[in-house]
Structure 1
């Protein structure tokens, strides 16, 4: 179930889904290529990228960091752990992959679609709020702090993650629609 798309598909899709200007997302993409987190395109060689690269650029946008620090900020956010030792980046990758058209992980897909990911940009902390039948519950990544100071945070919804998953799974979704017709 290796989802793949070109870098152009990913950064254009991220810009469209998040309403961030395309030149801003292109700058982030350039920084990821310069630091070798993303493979570079050379001539006719256009490498395919997967869910990890999509999540890295999302975390870079959510971090609110300047361009020079966006890659290290994204990697730091990726490595934030919850109380069970699960990394934030790995959890988001699993959530996006749960939207695969075969729907093998339907319970996670339902939870992920109703979730909200909030990143506190002035603290190394993130929270995923899941909506369930029993009500909302939060999973905190990083240090849970009883601070009452003003926090600056940025968030992304599970519905946006679903829309972004269409970039990676577009060939599979369209093939599934043709079979159903």
Structure 2
């Protein structure tokens, strides 16, 4: 999801100078740099989800990752961004579970091998993230349309997950969220 927030940030940042003051532009620039640090982390996968909020140079990282080293390394990368005074790392590490791993791979295979999602699957950073925590699935990210969102949820629901929750946004919803910032 965070990667798509970065894409939406890029779109909004083009319009930002016309509507935002200098402080807002600085925050947008910092959030864009934070997004780049997370997105370029080599071990960040579709099974991880990280979000960030910024308040006066203090970044709060939230979300879930599959390994403990990811939590720490992402925070270290974000702390190196010029203008960031402090990082509050609230990223959770998902428990180790063979059942969860199997569910992750099966859902990812179902989504990204579906013809409606081939164009997403070929991206360097596929937009739909699949977070599985003790058998409960949460889909996050940004897709082009409501139809894509519904198909992704439908595909994820065909497996033996305890629950499936979709937090996927459309590009229009993501754009509106950032224009409200």
> Please, what TM-score do these two structures have when normalized by structure 2?
0.30
> Please, what TM-score do these two structures have when normalized by structure 1?
0.30
